[in-house]
Structure 1
């Protein structure tokens, strides 16, 4: 808990100043919903190809608070955005991400599978995303299968430090993974950057597990099928926030609003934000 004790005062101030903590006049009048962070899963993935500039641009247009990105590494060491550990599903290529060079990955069409109008969308790099979006929208960075890419934590930390993003304003950079050991490492490398743990395993929602996570994590991010009022209360009691995924229906979004989670991670940002 030492991380939270050190950062506590700064986080309180940043939350008070953050526009994300403010509630609109309509919400105040209606009193029906608390403000939650609207996280566009892999961009607005319901409407545009995931992990592409087209998807992230649309998410920004749809007033998302964060874009969620999946980070892996090419054979020659370039940090790139793609969800699967192979390129087969979302590009016109085949093979493992880690077996392909950046030039090979860059040459792939990562958009046509979602529709002809997205033809030619490339696989972006991590640096491209930071330079294009930081300051416009929050960035939730998922390290995808970091065990396949030894040293990726140090590499990510270095890229962020080069841009002075190891001390993000208003917690607008968050790093998460299903790999808990990787997140322990990230917490040590970037003690001022919020850390999240991802899980779909009900065993990770026990009191003992949550207490362990709270030693290094600021966010506990379970599949929405594991979310209950009791779990949300436990997470908040341990001074963590809770963000849940992946919302692909209005009913799921409404359920998570009722549970009073802190963030909703959705392929459809308009299910979370009625302004769209």
Structure 2
């Protein structure tokens, strides 16, 4: 994995090649930037639903980003908030509702009548539907609420041979760094990402620590700079930034030289054209 050797390799490259190896603004548009559909193409369809994920595939996103939580009876489900109130016609905490209760909720009509009847998907449903069609960026949402969720996610991936990066495009990320250390131990061949919106996590000390188990440092775009991107790369990690909801933000991140852009609108991010 990148984190096992790239930090040293990155330093060696810097010593050998110096600034001549760094991409310039002129060729930034030629650099492949991963287009990550945030909760699916959630600008156009209800987030974290099949409609949003299908739309992302239709729009040729490189990855769909999903949020994994767990029902009261242990089913892994795809929903962002720790309550169902905002994105369904129900109420209550995800962890307090059984899968049967969650499966009966309407997760689409809030976005538009045409999405009435969209359901909260399960994790295995997403893996089976999209494997081989697009990459999957798996976010463990509030894993501290769900003891053992890391093992369950790992098992689902291993059962499908999706724990080997040469077979499937899979990344696992979270704001919970301890959870990601655990995922790295469980799935040593799967790239790990750490999420943050804090500038405190951009110091050399913090980045060096992340690089011992993470392959991706994924910050809010508000703390992204060219210096940060260069420093993350120097530590042997890649950087994907979130959440893009305007063309101006997408253009800014492309100029900064990030490796991936996590966006509600995949059509805002297409440097390949």
So what's the TM-score if we normalise by structure 2? 0.90
Q: Structure 1 residues 87 and 241 mapped into 2: Cα distance closer, same or farther (>3 Å)?
A: same
Equivalent positions of 1:145-184 (< 5 A) are: 145-169=142-166, 172-184=169-181
For 1:63-98, what per-residue CA distance to the aligned partner results, in whole angstroms no more than 9, with x for missing partners? 100000000000000000000000000000000000
> Are 2:211 and 1:187 aligned?
no
Partner of 1:51: 48
Q: Unmatched 5+ residue regions in structure 1?
A: 10-29
Partner of 1:71: 68
For 1:102-161, what per-residue CA distance to the aligned partner results, in whole angstroms no more than 9, with x for missing partners? 000000000000000000000000000000001000000000000000000011001111
Equivalent positions of 1:1-276 (< 5 A) are: 3-5=3-5, 31=27, 33=29, 34-169=31-166, 172-273=169-270
Q: What do you get for the CA RMSD once the two structures are aligned?
A: 1.9
The answer on whether the counterparts of 2:28 and 2:255 sit within 8 Å (CA) in structure 1 is no
The answer on whether the counterparts of 1:111 and 1:119 sit within 8 Å (CA) in structure 2 is yes
SS in 1 for 2:88: coil
- Pick which of 188-197 and 170-179 moved more: 170-179
For 1:232-276, what per-residue CA distance to the aligned partner results, in whole angstroms no more than 9, with x for missing partners? 000000110000000000000000000000000000000002789
Partner of 1:25: none
> Using the alignment, how far apart are the partners of 2:83 and 2:220 within structure 1?
23
> Using the alignment, how far apart are the partners of 1:39 and 1:92 within structure 2?
28
- Deviation, 1:35, is 1.5
> Using the alignment, how far apart are the partners of 1:147 and 1:269 within structure 2?
30
> Using the alignment, how far apart are the partners of 1:136 and 1:2 within structure 2?
24
For 1:34-67, what per-residue CA distance to the aligned partner results, in whole angstroms no more than 9, with x for missing partners? 2200000000010100000000000000010000
> Using the alignment, how far apart are the partners of 2:106 and 2:146 within structure 1?
24
> Using the alignment, how far apart are the partners of 1:245 and 1:2 within structure 2?
22
> Using the alignment, how far apart are the partners of 1:2 and 1:176 within structure 2?
15
The answer on whether the counterparts of 2:134 and 2:169 sit within 8 Å (CA) in structure 1 is yes
| Larger RCO, structure (CA 8 Å, separation 6 or more) | 2
The answer on whether the counterparts of 1:39 and 1:64 sit within 8 Å (CA) in structure 2 is yes
Q: Structure 1 residues 2 and 114 mapped into 2: Cα distance closer, same or farther (>3 Å)?
A: closer
So what's the TM-score if we normalise by structure 1? 0.89
Q: Unmatched 5+ residue regions in structure 2?
A: 10-25
For 1:164-209, what per-residue CA distance to the aligned partner results, in whole angstroms no more than 9, with x for missing partners? 1111227610000000000000000000000000000110011100
SS in 1 for 2:201: helix
> Using the alignment, how far apart are the partners of 1:231 and 1:31 within structure 2?
19
